[in-house]
Amino acid sequence: MAGNPGRVPRRRFERDVIRRLIAIAWWTWSIEHILRHQAEICGGDLAALEAAMPEGGAKSDRPEPE
């Protein structure tokens, strides 16, 4: 956010990437699953991170980006 009134000057990621990251929601994974997949979480390869998702996916109550 910047300015008054607040506005978003630019996004760090494209909207599609934001949606994919929210769908992955690695922060909702069990600690065991996170520890097993640290390389994917830190690696920057979104496809590898999606492949590492636990069975049944992840749940997130975060709103969609505008």
Residue environment code for 23-46, b if the CB has 16+ CB neighbours within 10 A, otherwise e? ebebeebeeeebeebeebbeeeee
In the chain, domain spans:
15-52
- Write down the pLDDT at residue 66: 60
Distance CA 20, CA 15 (A): 9
**5: Cβ contacts below 8 Å, ≥ 6 apart:** none
Q: Is the pLDDT of residue 14 over 60?
A: yes
Distance CA 50, CA 48 (A): 5
Tokens of 56: 């049944």
Query: What amino acid is encoded at 54 in this protein?
Result: P
Q: Is the pLDDT of residue 61 over 90?
A: no
Using a cut of 0.75, tell me whether the model's pTM lies above it. no
> Which one has a higher pLDDT value, 47 or 59?
47
- Write down the pLDDT at residue 59: 57
